[in-house]
Chains A and B, each alone.
Chain A
Amino acid sequence: MAAEARSPLMTHLVAFFPSRELSLAAARGMIDGGARYLEVQFPFSDPSADGPLIQTACSSALEAGFTVARGFELVGEISALAGVPVFIMSYANLVVRRGVESFVERAKAAGAAGLIVPDLMPGSDERLYEIGARSAIEIVPVVAPDVSEERLALVRSMRPAYLYAALRAGITGRYTALGSENHRFLDRLRPLGARILAGFGVSSPEQVAEIRSEVHASVVGSALVRIILDAAAPGGAERLDPERLRRRMGERVRALSGPG
């Protein structure tokens, strides 16, 4: 499937949640369902910007044996599947601990298209933007509705190809009722000329449709993590069955982009 034929969606999963095999199956399902981008979260012990659902997914992924090295291997495998660009999302400490340079190089080698590290923003980035530019890997800033003009100018000066717009304040997981202020926020971002990835509380086809013309892609996270969580729960229908999880995920992602 060509990139243009894919849906304007970036779908999110937590690497190794609930296991390496099942997270790979979920990624395959997302690709089957037509997602244009995948966002693979590397779990951190202290995910202070995430809600309960992704917290649970992260601690379970760590118990399932996630390590940064294994995470890069998984990203390599997913990247090779169908040419769907994979972005790695994580927290600053995993990047800083390994060394920004080494993290970026390893991500690039694994075939990742970019990195999303919300707590390494321009000006407080430990040279992530500079190193990313040198290695030709996209570093995606995450901005929120109250961002000042001054900060937006700094973000713009990094010339990001992609810009992640968090549609509301707060943490991941809670549903976002889209209103005029969301559209105004997206209007403010347009002049930056970046491809806008909009997320935080986007879980329904209606939301995806509502912002479709204003964004490059909608990011759907917690809603899909929930599908995996349910499948992984004791008694979950797809328990330990990668093929069924893949099918279910494919259907769900397909449904997100709505009819036509």
Chain B
Amino acid sequence: MKIYNDFFGEFGGRYVPEVLRPPLDALEAAFLAAMGDPAFLAELESIRRDYIGRPTPLLFASNATREIGGAQIYVKLEGLANTGAHKINNAAGQGLLAKRMGKRRVIAETGAGQHGVASAAMCAKLGLDCTVYMGEVDIRRQRPNVFWMELYGAKVVPVTGGSRTLKDAVNEAMRDWAGSFADTHYLLGSALGPSPFPDMVREFQSVIGRETQAQARERGLDVAALVACVGGGSNAIGFFAPFIESSEPRLIGVEAGGRGAGRGNNAARMSGEGALGVVQGYKSLFLMDEDGQLLPTHSVSAGLDYPGIGPQLASLGRTGRVEFTSVGDLEAIEALRFFAREEGIVFALESAHAGAHALRLARELPKERAIVVNMSGRGDKDLFIAARALDPDAWARFLGEEAASYGR
């Protein structure tokens, strides 16, 4: 696959007001130059090894496999990357690129806060000023990550417009960038937005897929399927990247099924009611009404709660190379509990959607075959949501006591 495609079938492109065209042209040129520069690649490699902690492990989930009694379940532990999720792979690549372009300031959007944390950490390390836009709703549900971003020295700006979630944070970052691109890089966190972002994010995330391919080969696994959750699509496209052009293994994207069918209850674009649109600079499938107004979405996980999907995944869904399905809030939380009990690993709520589908799939496949699920993040950030869902009384008591202790 080429490094730079711009369009993926009919999806993708650069549908932006003219003001954003010069910075995107400059970014495209800088990205292509960097990817051909051994010094840039060497620096990225050393950050991957020494700072991110790559390669991340591929764990055989032996207890889970035994419990389910079907195909072997393997978990790619991206959540063990420094800062807790795959988001750092992209933040490292784009952070180095920003530095190379002579930018002094970075802006980012975040939903679950993992991309914000990764950007803030990378900026601390590289000496760049960092501002993160985050919807008010997400600030409330992912509060621990707000604290970490601020500790890394980033400014977290609450977004109060629209649905106050991820899409609104993207809008706000685009507004900032339209006036600040002279000295500022927009570090977009998923494989969406105007080109070159979808290509660039895939390239920086494809390290997940390359490692998985090597690890599976080393162990002689007969991989039947790769399973990843899909918000905007960055962990999925990075995980799938080395396999897109072959017909094996099956590639499965899992969207947020939320509370079930019906407008506003989920974020299922491919497995739901996504329609063709041009939003936030790219053409893809979006959840919208008859007029093209974006619809509200819902997911227990802030990172999957987005009405659009990256253009390359939309295209691969159209061609059938990537299959899409959805998992609801409750099934995701149940998978989180299951993997904690069986394997001693805590999935981020986003990744738990993929974990849940891997369990479904393992039941249908024979024991000789393997399924690899990408645990895109670990669940530390979801402490408040998980505790409320799984042990509400004890947690409420604790929070009450904790709050009271501040008053004393």
Contact = CB atoms under 8 A, between A and B. Distances in A.
Contact of A96 (B178, B181, B292): B292
A192 to B, nearest CB: 14
Contacts of B281: 119
Given A93-B279, A119-B15, A44 B178 contact: no
Contacts of A166: 17-19
Contacts of B168: 46
Given A46-B280, A98-B291, A59 B162 contact: yes
A120 interface: yes
Interface stretch (A76-84, A145-153, A206-214, A244-252): A145-153
A176 B286 CA distance: 35
A147 to B, nearest CB: 6
B269 interface: no
B18 A67 contact: no
Interface in A59-117: 59, 62, 67-68, 92-98
Nearest to B19: A144
Given A68-B291, A94-B291, A170-B178, A124 B17 contact: no
Interface string B4-26: 00000000011111110110010
Nearest to B160: A52
B161 A144 contact: no
Interface in B270-285: 275-281, 283
A168 B293 CA distance: 28
A124 B13 contact: yes
Nearest to B23: A146
B179 A46 contact: no
A141 to B, nearest CB: 8
Most buried by B among A62, A118, A124, A126: A124
Interface string B164-184: 000110110011001101000
Contact of A51 (B174, B175, B279): B175
Given A46-B280, A62-B293, A97-B277, A121 B178 contact: no
Contacts of A148: 21-22, 25
B18 A151 contact: yes
Given A124-B13, A169-B181, A48 B291 contact: no
Nearest to B294: A45
Interface string B40-75: 000000000000000000000000000000000000
B167 A46 contact: yes
A55 B168 CA distance: 11
A119 B292 CA distance: 14
A49 interface: yes
B207 interface: no
Given A44-B293, A68-B291, A147 B277 contact: no
Contacts of A255: none
B252 interface: no
A171 interface: yes
Contacts of B279: 46, 92-93
A142 interface: yes
Nearest to B17: A118
Contacts of B278: 92-93, 96, 119-120, 126
B149 interface: no
Given A55-B161, A92-B278, A118 B291 contact: no
Given A51-B175, A96-B278, A169 B291 contact: no
B370 interface: no
A166 B17 CA distance: 10
A223 interface: no
Given A48-B175, A94-B291, A142 B18 contact: yes
Contacts of B174: 48-49
Given A46-B294, A48-B171, A93 B288 contact: yes
A49 B25 CA distance: 19
Contacts of A142: 17-18
B167 A49 contact: no
A143 interface: yes
Given A44-B293, A46-B279, A96-B278, A171 B178 contact: yes
Nearest to B16: A119
Most buried by B among A44, A49, A51, A68: A49
Interface string B219-257: 000000000000000000000000000000000000000
B322 to A, nearest CB: 24
B176 to A, nearest CB: 9
A93 B167 CA distance: 15
A171 B179 contact: yes
A49 B175 contact: yes
Nearest to B21: A151
B279 to A, nearest CB: 5
Contacts of B280: 46, 48
A239 B12 CA distance: 45
Given A45-B293, A59-B161, A171-B178, A96 B277 contact: yes
A48 to B, nearest CB: 4
Contact of A97 (B22, B175, B291): B291
16 contacts: A45-B162, A48-B170, A48-B175, A48-B280, A49-B178, A59-B161, A93-B279, A96-B278, A97-B276, A97-B290, A119-B15, A119-B16, A121-B17, A146-B22, A151-B21, A169-B19
Given A93-B292, A121-B21, A166-B19, 16 more contacts: A45-B162, A48-B174, A49-B17, A51-B175, A52-B161, A55-B161, A59-B161, A67-B291, A92-B279, A93-B286, A95-B292, A98-B292, A119-B15, A120-B15, A143-B18, A168-B179
Interface of B: 13-19, 21-22, 25, 161-162, 167-168, 170-171, 174-175, 178-179, 181, 275-281, 283, 286, 288, 290-294
